Structure 1
Amino acid sequence: MKMQVRLKVVVVALCFGLAPAVAAEARLPADVANYVEQREGCDHFRGEIPDPPDQQRMKEFEREIRKLCTGTDKKLVKLKRKYAKNQAVMKRLNEFEEGIESPPASSSW
């Protein structure tokens, strides 16, 4: 019984501890909040490359990186232009590294 009470106290404490971060994200415009979610997923997979490389896991990582990271450079620039006068949005967007996508492969004609 005491363990259940302790567990409830811990869960409540965690919820209150995370509440300010969740509230701040909730105040972001929808397009920015969607970008933040996508980009955080992208950054997660960019930082979790398996070592030593496992071919199956590498395929999974490459697929997720393509899905989540493609277009994020352009989106970040567009959102920064759109919200240039909104300090709260700019503070959040400035947390992301710019230019993470590989440049397009040049075609040899």
Structure 2
Amino acid sequence: MDDRDGCDHFRGEPSPEGNTADDRERRQQLVDAVRRLCAGTDRRLEALLELHRDNADAMRVLATYERNIEAGP
């Protein structure tokens, strides 16, 4: 959940549109953070949903996460 929370945070960050060195650096920081934090979270979320399918409290929390956020092949 920590990785997915971080993933969702950086996915929601606005990407600078300019072409200054700072803008390019920030865009790269966002790309790197999304790659690092989001990788594998779809699979791990599905595993948690399966593991806790009989736990209503856990399912309520897990239901707040968007499914299938990783880019396809």
TM-score, structure 1 normalization = 0.60
Q: How many residues align?
A: 69
2:35 aligned with 1:66 = yes
Larger Rg: 1
- Following superposition, the deviation at residue 50 of structure 1 comes to 2.0
2: CA distance, partners of 1:94 / 1:65: 21
2: CA distance, partners of 1:98 / 1:72: 9
Q: Is the 2:16–2:27 contact (alpha carbons within 8 Å) kept by the matching residues of 1?
A: no
Greater helix percent: which structure?
A: 1
Q: Is the 2:38–2:70 contact (alpha carbons within 8 Å) kept by the matching residues of 1?
A: yes
Gaps of 5+ in 2: none
Gaps of 5+ in 1: 1-35, 105-109
Q: Deviations over 1:40-73 (max 9, x none)?
A: 1000000003232521111111111011000000
Structure scoring higher RCO (CA < 8 A, sep ≥ 6) equals 2
SS in structure 2 opposite 1:89?
Answer: helix
- 1:54-93 residue pairs with structure 2 within 5 A? 54-93=23-62
TM-score, structure 2 normalization = 0.88
Residue number in structure 2 paired with 1:96: 65
2:50 aligned with 1:50 = no
In angstroms, what is the RMSD of aligned CA positions? 1.0
Q: Is the 2:3–2:37 contact (alpha carbons within 8 Å) kept by the matching residues of 1?
A: yes
Q: Deviations over 1:61-102 (max 9, x none)?
A: 111101100000000111100000001111000000001000
The runs of at least 4 aligned residues of structure 1 exceeding 2 Å deviation read none
SS in structure 2 opposite 1:98?
Answer: coil
